[in-house]
Structure 1
């Protein structure tokens, strides 16, 4: 082949090389610390006077929509679903142990409430199997008070993996890495898990306290103890009022649990603790819709599905995934509302939310580790640039 034949090929290689040099990427991580512009002591982004304008609401909705897909938040919800399933058994054991510790002299009543819960909320096709699973999980709680306390601590530590997964997702939503040390983070996530499990026990007990439970559990015990006035009080006064208060109390407790979760999970130090936020309300309402749809599936479709129990299991997985997605959506809304409020105060929150971190110790260590890796990579590149000499 002649030199003229080689020219086009050489030119095309140079063109491809030039084109390759012009291609660009968006880095997924940074190796530098970013200084946030904390507001003055008398400036609060959450002040009543700092209401979002119309254009700010538009920014919130656009950023939530764009970042929800760019940050792969549904994938992170899938990861949280995995930890949900892994934490199921420890959480059940912890909840049952807490209930047994509180009602240590009423173990039979606790078991009756557990059976009542399975009969009420678990499909008939899976009720027996669910009962066997729960019985095997709670079998270790018959070892005495000390063993119960130990099992609670260990079970809550195992269940906190789910809370830690949510904390990592929350940091991604706020556009930062974890700055708290490992011991501090794990201890805080364990404490949040304790609060969430206790709150879940309260919510479950509140929803299980119905006329059937009073008639089958509380009334026989009260009559054996001669507490006839208690029976009359529960049946004639308390239960009619409780039937009206059950749902509002459940909503209030659920909002409080979400508020605690949203406040302490991310590496963000807000100016104040807020019991009710737009994100927490959205998360709660959408979760009610998701679990309501699941209950309708169990009631009308689970028994006639050609997939049987397998279809029910898949429905559970899908419901848990959607539930976690809605929880992430809620904290994303709160983060973008905070960003918009900071922008209205003149803070440079266009790229990074300016709320200060709870700690930057671990973040500094991570930056130093990445810089060392980059320096080592640079030495390899320099060696190659010198022709291997």
Structure 2
């Protein structure tokens, strides 16, 4: 419902940090209500379905792209750094696929595989397309772009995410090596152990933030209006992964129930929970924008109604 009260909390906030306790309380109440009204659980389940179809082609595309510029076996080294962040069943499923791809003849990962790379890239973008639809729901947008444009955007985002992961792979391999050879002793060794997780965490926040900014069909929001949700989603993803790790370890009947499908079911459940927290972060960002009447989009400030984004053009 529109609220025209000029003195409503947070109406003049130019950034989330300018909102007081009353405004934040209103935002969080609407986020809680939005879980049901925006059907986040159902959307997360749909995205998880497409995600499980896309995750293995995405891994293949990442290894193929990385193999063009460096030793693809570095992917396995980086995967070890992510072991503490992932449930055992999820890690096992991903590790098995990575090992199988790395064991393939080198020719299959070289320049001659450009056509195969394009095909797996096209398959990998299915998960991003599903996330784009989820973002449009959360941000109250109707995607009027043509199907060709939607496919091109999802493909561009997929390529961008792979590029970010390649940079993160380089950093995860190179930074600890450099730190281990520095003259700062124990401090350098400690930083070398922490650096891989910090780099992966920064990459996750960047990718989630890019989704919030470019996936929905709307005028892009300023970084300050997507950072809060991106950080919350990254922290939530870490908490969910740790919780699922504890759950899978505590209930050994899980594998006995699902048998050989245990790893796939665990991966599907992890994708569902991960997508849910990403959508929840987007919901938080959307409700923060709805709390203020100030322009939250990029570019020069425009009056409400001319900003090109529902949550920027309305107040809650």
Same fold (TM over 0.5): yes
- 2:140 maps to which residue? 175
Distance in 1 between the 2:180 and 2:98 partners? 37
Distance in 2 between the 1:269 and 1:312 partners? 40
Write out per-residue CA displacement over residues 79-100 of structure 1, whole angstroms, 9 at most, x where no aligned residue: 0001111102210110110121
Q: Is 2:99 aligned against 1:148? A: no
- 2:31 maps to which residue? 64
Distance in 2 between the 1:335 and 1:125 partners? 31
Write out per-residue CA displacement over residues 171-209 of structure 1, whole angstroms, 9 at most, x where no aligned residue: 111112103232222212111111222333444565677
- 1:283 maps to which residue? 233
Indicate if the aligned counterparts of 2:76 and 2:98 stay in contact, CA closer than 8 A.
Answer: no
Taking the TM superposition and a 5 Å limit, the aligned residue runs for 1:122-137 are 123=88, 131=96, 134-135=99-100
Distance in 1 between the 2:167 and 2:81 partners? 13
Taking the TM superposition and a 5 Å limit, the aligned residue runs for 1:80-95 are 80-95=47-62
Deviates more, 1:282-291 or 1:198-207: 198-207
Distance in 1 between the 2:275 and 2:88 partners? 22
Count of equivalent residues: 291
- 1:320 maps to which residue? 271
Distance in 2 between the 1:293 and 1:75 partners? 21
Match for 1:332 among 275, 279, 283? 283
SS of residue in 1 equivalent to 2:119: helix
Q: Is 2:205 aligned against 1:255? A: yes
Pair member with larger Rg: 1
Indicate if the aligned counterparts of 2:74 and 2:169 stay in contact, CA closer than 8 A.
Answer: no
How far apart are 1:153 and its partner, in Å? 2.7
How far apart are 1:337 and its partner, in Å? 0.4
- 2:300 maps to which residue? none
- 1:353 maps to which residue? 310
| TM-score of the pair, normalised by structure 1 | 0.61
Distance in 2 between the 1:251 and 1:129 partners? 18
How far apart are 1:270 and its partner, in Å? 3.3
SS of residue in 2 equivalent to 1:342: coil
Match for 1:242 among 184, 192, 201? 192
Distance in 2 between the 1:118 and 1:205 partners? 14
Distance in 1 between the 2:208 and 2:12 partners? 21
Taking the TM superposition and a 5 Å limit, the aligned residue runs for 1:1-389 are 47-48=14-15, 51-103=18-70, 106=71, 109-110=73-74, 113=77, 123=88, 131=96, 134-135=99-100, 139=104, 142-143=107-108, 145-203=110-168, 233=181, 240-270=190-220, 272-274=222-224, 277-297=227-247, 301-302=251-252, 306-307=256-257, 309-342=260-293, 347=304, 353-355=310-312
Aligned CA RMSD, in angstroms, stands at 4.2
Indicate if the aligned counterparts of 1:256 and 1:276 stay in contact, CA closer than 8 A.
Answer: no
How far apart are 1:301 and its partner, in Å? 4.7
SS of residue in 1 equivalent to 2:104: helix
| TM-score of the pair, normalised by structure 2 | 0.73
SS of residue in 2 equivalent to 1:139: coil
Structure 1 segments unaligned to the other structure (5+ residues): 1-43, 215-229, 357-389
